[in-house]
Every structure is written in C-alpha cells, then in structure tokens.
Amino acid sequence: MGKACGESSDKKVTISIGEYYASREPVVIKTLLGSCVAVCLFDAKAHIGGMNHILLPGRADLAMYNMSARYGINAMELLINSVMAHGAERRRIKAKVFGGASVIPGMIEKQAVGRKLSGFVISFLEKEGIQIISRDLGGVWVRNVYFHTQAGDVYVKKADP
C-alpha cells in the first residue's frame, strides 16, 4: 500500500505560531496556516531544511515580547541562522513560501494581514538573495503544510475556512 501526501516514516514535528524548526536529520515539519505565512528553507546538497510560522510582518520589540519568531524579520533571521548552524551553506539555500490567506470575511483584500505578510516575506527573501522556487499564497483557504526536510519537498492540503 502506498503513502498519502504528507505521510512519511521520518520523524514528525509540528510547529505553531511563532515557532521554527530546522534539522539535518530527515524530518517532516507540519504546520496549519490561515493568514500566517510559513517559509521552508533548504539546502538540497546538504539535505538540511527548516520551517517557521510567522504571524506578523516587521520586527518584535524584544523589550516587550518574548516570542520574537512571531514577527517576520525575527522569524526569518532565526530560521536562516538555524539552518546554517545545522550545516547549510547560505549560497545554496532555497525557499518555498505558503499561507497568507484572507480568512476574515469582509476584510478588504489589500488591508488583510495575510497579504501584507506575504509581501513582506517575498521582499525579505529577495533582499537576502534567497531564491523562492515555489509559493502558494493568498486565497481564502486554510493550509496544512508538510515539509520533508531531506528532499525539500512540500505537500499542501487546502480546506475552506
């Protein structure tokens, strides 16, 4: 019998808002997204990958908040540093980006947090010189994201909000 999308014999780790995880070992990292955005970074040659789950664009005021990975700049810096600490080479890191849905009925699309967060992440990765090789952003769907760190494969399962 075959395996369904997202299934694997690899270790499984679930991350929530404001969390990130990176590994040199084969792991399936899972998260559930609405308006939040998850970035999957990986070095295909070294088989190292990681994912974050970002709530808001910008930078956390670390004097007031202890969950700095909830905020875009902090979450991206933490994830990049973590995959590099596991042995990834900066020049080989690629990105896949997911989420940013408009899940609040009646919200004007251009004011929606998901849209702003998606724009922030794309701009950040471009400025950092990290190529985005895949993305699934926007819409109204809640997304279950499964990232297989060993191969850099991502499976997305969408559901209506």
What pTM did the predictor assign? 0.87
CATH 3.40.50.300 fits 11-71+83-159, yes or no: no
Cβ atoms of 107 and 137 closer than 8 Å = no
- Residue whose structure tokens are 């997204």: 33
Closest CA to 43 of 83, 93, 90, 7: 93
Return the active site residues: 36
Domain ranges, ordered by start, for the chain:
11-71+83-159
pLDDT digits (tens, 9 = 90+) for 38-82: 999 999 999 999 999 998 776 655 555 555 666 688 899 999 999
Q: Which pLDDT score, from 0 to 100, does residue 122 have?
A: 97
Q: Which two tokens stand for residue 114?
A: 């998901």
Per-residue pLDDT band at 111 (split at 50, 70, 90)? low
